[in-house]
Amino acid sequence: MRDRDAVPPDSRIPAPVRGFWVVASAQARILGRAYFAAQAVLGAAWWIGVAVWSEVGRVTLGALDPRWVAVLDIPLFVVASGAAALGFTWPRRVAVVWTVLVAAAMVGYATATGLAGWGALLMIAAAVGSVLAAMLVAHGRVPAERLLRGPLAFQVAPARGPDQQFVRTLLQLTGFWVLFLAIIPAVLVFVEIRWGIRVAWVPAVRSAGAVMLVLASGLGLWAARTMARLGDGTPLPSASPNRLVIAGPYRWVRNPMAAAGIAQAIGVGLLMSSWTTVVYAVCGALYWHALVRPLEEADLEVRFGEAFRRYRECVGLWVPWRGALRQRCATRR
């Protein structure tokens, strides 16, 4: 093993967390209030559409009587969102609770009847957006660290041999692949069919998805083997390596496992002709990039110090860097 392929930990220098979504700021609070303003405007526009075009109501409400829905939704969703945009606390809480409850109700209704699938999707998006916006307004950030506890917390893997670490990684990957690449996509395909939101794709797209899935799986296994062999750990934050690995696929991107997982999910979506699976993969990428990555990289900077800072400067996150920058970094090693 070359010295520059794996670097031992150096936790002498604390590292700050960097990232717009996880560090409190006034701009984040403004963005949260702007979201509620947009939600109020779009909600009002949607109700106008329901009143003017019956097809809007049929697609988004199914057989529900829009008059009865409007009695509660206009004050608790539209008006409350507008008041939340002005900075009022209780309307913000009301808007969030109501939106989440309506989203859950619409999911149940669409699943039971096969109607209003697009309405259920819109309410799911509104519920997620409302919760995130409420966090931004209340905290100035998204407290993502609250989700990284227990088995999801950053922990260093117990020192073992490379073969044992690789076997452990394979067991972890098997669980992740079954859940995130089989069970969840299967549920999403069922939802698309049941809710009437299925979109047919040409066979070439499915073939491209199969190729993408195979290549991404190979990348993931390569990254896992490299991490086990040189880092004495796994690529997963809950059993992170004892040494900083900068060899194999880690020479080209900083987290090839995340890139592989996202590409795998997109490949599964294309293979299954499931646009919601592709959206789910993109949402997972955004979640990891905006909320998990800043905390993970801060943890790595604390543990490996200057070695990780140089690595972060010289290696791209998602796309390999080329040209003068990479050449300059190569000369510094």
Residue 326: the pLDDT is 54
Q: Is the dihedral of CA 270, 284, 232, 243 positive or negative?
A: positive
Going by the DSSP 8-state scheme, the letter that residue 245 receives in this structure is E
Residue 101 pLDDT > 70: yes
What is the per-residue pLDDT for 154?
74
Total domains in the chain come to 2
Q: What is the pLDDT of residues 8-39, one digit of tens each?
A: 444 434 457 888 999 999 999 999 999 999 99
Residues 158-162 have a mean pLDDT of 72
pLDDT of residue 325: 46
**Region 163-184 average pLDDT:** 88
Question: Dihedral of CA 268/272/273/276: which sign?
Answer: negative
Q: What is the pTM of this model?
A: 0.87
Same domain membership, residue 316 and residue 175: yes
35 with 178, same domain?
Answer: no
Give the per-residue pLDDT at 1. 41
Domain coverage including residue 122: 26-140
Start-to-end Cα distance in the chain: 16
Is there a contact between 191 and 198 (Cβ–Cβ < 8 Å)? no
- Does 286 lie in the same domain as 218? yes
Domain identity same for 225 and 294: yes
Same domain, 115 and 182: no
What CATH number is given to the structural domain containing 291? 1.20.120.1630
**Residue 147 placed within a domain:** no
For the chain, give the longest Cα–Cα distance.
71
Residue 116 has pLDDT above 70, yes or no: yes
Instruction: Tell me the average pLDDT of the chain.
Output: 88
* pLDDT tens per residue across span 204-241: 999 999 999 999 999 999 998 898 888 777 777 777 78
In one-letter notation, the amino acid at residue 237 is: P
**Residue finishing a domain among 140, 165, 194:** 140
* pLDDT tens digits, one per residue of 272-295: 999 999 999 999 999 999 999 998
Burial class (CB in 10 A: 0-12, 13-18, 19+), 219: buried
How far does CA 162 lie from the centroid of its chain? 30
- pLDDT per position as a tens digit, 53-74: 999 999 999 999 999 999 999 9
pLDDT category of residue 324 using cuts at 50, 70 and 90: very low
In a domain, 146, yes or no: no
